[in-house]
Structure 1
């Protein structure tokens, strides 16, 4: 049986082969930025902002 080439198949292949690795790379970059030791002080300060009385 021959596979039918449809727009859905083309879009699915494009997402699987092109966008998934890009989004995984973006996720890893964000995770690395958030867990980088140099950024700890800035994130700790931002976490305390709602508790401040001004």
Structure 2
């Protein structure tokens, strides 16, 4: 497996070169994590609105 070294402002980060199919399509785990983050954000917004109205 080949790795690329990226030089960023904070230092060096290794990035594994993934196949083209994996780069263009999100995996099911990434989609599930994104949906859970959106649910948490919506619940936090609802909590803030309810505290404001109370």
Max Rg structure: 1
Higher RCO (C-alpha 8 Å, min separation 6):
2
Q: Which has the higher strand share?
A: 2
Shorter-chain TM-score: what band? 0.3 to 0.5
TM-score when scaled to structure 1? 0.43
